Chains A and B, each alone.
Chain A
């Protein structure tokens, strides 16, 4: 099989969908000849033309609302938002319109749109371009929330998101863009709501999202040298959430650590922790559940401070040892 970067996998998923379905189109700022802020749509305007790779003015409120309207009337728009931070400007359309329309209309109409957007820190873009706000979106009934960590997952999940008849927020972590994995050439779909066990283990379960999946796998590899077997689960979608896979894993390992980059306070980790606390897996726990998340601070510019604001591999290693009561 060939390897693709995460970025190429996202592009391939969109291209394949667009070749197959005339209703799929992309709109967003600088997605044409510029190829998008991160180069995801590079080359697509040559193949699909400016009607379907639709460069927009800098108008997040208008373009998100336009996507809602187009979706409600039969198209399947993919909206590229340059940085996930700007979802604040698209918020009304996502939260009050896209998420609610079908329900409010008594099940009439549907809003099949995908809002793709790069999230996360690590690029020095500082506080207004580095946030992880996925918990906001996961809070809102009517939206689905996807967070792929690998190229393989990105391609399959994006197909599922485009095929889905609901508004889907598709978070792409900026530091994942260059990571590679084997990606089949043919189209395939990874169902939303299906977690992936990225590494099997018996001693402790780590549930991690986006770039934290990679950090957790690194930590697991380090801990293995000391004979500690970590199971790393990537939920891949926060909404719907595959609680079953997490519960089964915790029943097996009896220990749970949740790791995400987003600020810990009010973060999605709390949701996973309480899901376990409310489930039958609670009785299996041999240690308190641990949450690792970003510090409650806007992401700073200075590179050392930027790194310190979110969980590191050694934080994860330390948390595992603490949970196992080992030094």
Chain B
């Protein structure tokens, strides 16, 4: 496989099996959630990122532990890639006290501030300025961490995108804006919602680098985001990296997907980022078939266990209602 020849150091040094495992964790987590939703066992709404595992995992793989992320409404994958415990995530979706937000946030608000996950967000475009502000802290206190700001193609049409990117660029803040372009807002195809081909082109307007990567190829994502992270860490300011990918499922639970065709869906399913990574690793002799299968099985088991954990966890009581409003 040509891809593995001349791998940059960041890929060679990475625990590639770990990446594969994370991608399976995300896939199984999402599929479980989908199933429970259909059965009415999970309340509210949730947005799945099946098919987008490589952009989350590849982007976060190049970070250091102290680096931070901001996430979106479609944030389960980012959360897992940033090292979240799936038990606590599942418990959150079940509304239990053992969940990341003590059952108060749900799918769209999972955060783990201490670990550098500054939060998913129910507001499209809500993360841009938060990421910029976190990067400002890093710079003002000389902390050396970088912030990765995940956003969707649709979110780049919010005013907050333009304002935050501009600010980050004039102040040369250590933030990387990573667009997971899954081709649609809820139902709005990118080509009808903006007049440029690539969201990365918008970087030009702010005088910063913009780069497109194959969002279904974890190595390609690692390289693109890796360069941008290095730049940010060296004090050279922000970048935009656009990962072209696809969400296999509907926008959320009640989506008839009338805005796209089955053929298009099939086309993208054939580019499954997990299968792709697995095949490369096996072909390169970095992983045996058996090992690959056992990584997959382990991930599946961990997700099954997270369901047990969630189900066995206590519900909040009414006394919890008024807690945590103020610090």
* Chain A proximity mask over B284-327: 1 for CB below 8 Å, otherwise 0: 00000000000000000000000000000001101011100100
**Shortest distance in angstroms between B309's beta carbon and chain A's nearest beta carbon?**
17
Say whether, besides A58-B125, A128-B123, A298-B325, A304 and B315 are in contact (CB < 8 Å): yes
A171 CB to closest chain B CB, in angstroms? 19
0/1 per residue, A25-46, Cβ < 8 Å to B? Answer: 0000110111001000000000
- Provided the pairs A58-B185, A126-B108 are in contact, do residues A301 and B154 lie with their beta carbons within 8 angstroms? no
Classify the interface of chain A: helix, strand, loop or mixed: loop
Across the two chains, which residue of chain A brings its CB closest to B96? A302
Q: Does B9 contact A (CB under 8 A)?
A: no
- A57, B255: Cα distance in complex, Å: 18
Q: Check A89/B122 contact, CB under 8 A, given A124-B43, A297-B325, A302-B95.
A: no
Answer yes or no: B115 CB below 8 A from chain A CBs: no
Pairwise interchain contact B123-A58, C-beta atoms closer than 8 A:
no
Select B44's contact among A34, A124, A305, beta carbons within 8 Å. Answer: A124
- Cross-chain contact B104 with A305 (CB below 8 angstroms): yes
The reply to whether A59 and B315 form a contact with Cβ atoms under 8 Å apart is: no
Across the interface, do B157 and A126 meet the contact criterion of CB distance under 8 Å?
A: no
Contact for B158 among A34, A59, A297, A300, CB less than 8 A: A59
Within the complex, the shortest CB–CB distance from B233 to chain A, in Å, comes to: 31
Size class of B's contact patch? 35 or more
Query: Would you give the 0/1 interface string for A45-74, flagging 1 where the beta carbon is closer than 8 Å to chain B?
Result: 000000000010111111000000000000
A58 touches B158 (CB 8 A): yes
Q: Any chain A CB within 8 A of the CB of B45?
A: yes
Q: Counting CB contacts under 8 A, is A188 at the interface?
A: no
- Asked if residues B187 and A301 are in contact (CB atoms below 8 Å), the reply is no
Contact (A302, B188) CB under 8 Å given A59-B157, A61-B159, A308-B318:
no
In whole angstroms, what is the CA distance A197 to B101 when docked?
42
CB pair A57 B44 closer than 8 Å: no
Q: Which of B148-196 contact A (CB under 8 A)?
A: 154-155, 157-160, 185-188, 192-194
The residue that B321 contacts in the complex, of A55, A124, A300, with Cβ under 8 A, is A300
Q: Which residue of A lies closest to B45 (CB)?
A: A125
CB < 8 Å neighbour of B155 from A58, A85, A124, A126: A58
**Given A29-B185, A126-B106, A301:B122 Cβ within 8 A:** no
CA distance A85 to B126 in the complex (A): 12
Q: Contact at A295–B158, with CB atoms within 8 Å? A: no
Residues of chain A contacted by B316 (CB below 8 angstroms): 300, 302, 304-305
> Provided the pairs A124-B44, A126-B106, A128-B109 are in contact, do residues A305 and B185 lie with their beta carbons within 8 angstroms?
no
Residues in chain A near residue B187, CB distance under 8 A? 30, 32-34, 55
Decide if B103 is an interface residue (CB 8 Å cutoff).
yes
B interface, CB within 8 angstroms of A = 43-45, 92, 95-96, 101, 103-106, 108-109, 121-126, 154-155, 157-160, 185-188, 192-194, 255, 258-259, 315-316, 318, 320-322, 325
22 residue pairs of the A-B complex, CB under 8 angstroms, read A29-B185, A29-B188, A30-B186, A30-B187, A34-B186, A55-B188, A57-B185, A57-B194, A58-B124, A58-B157, A59-B159, A61-B158, A89-B159, A124-B44, A128-B123, A295-B321, A300-B104, A300-B321, A301-B95, A302-B43, A302-B96, A302-B103
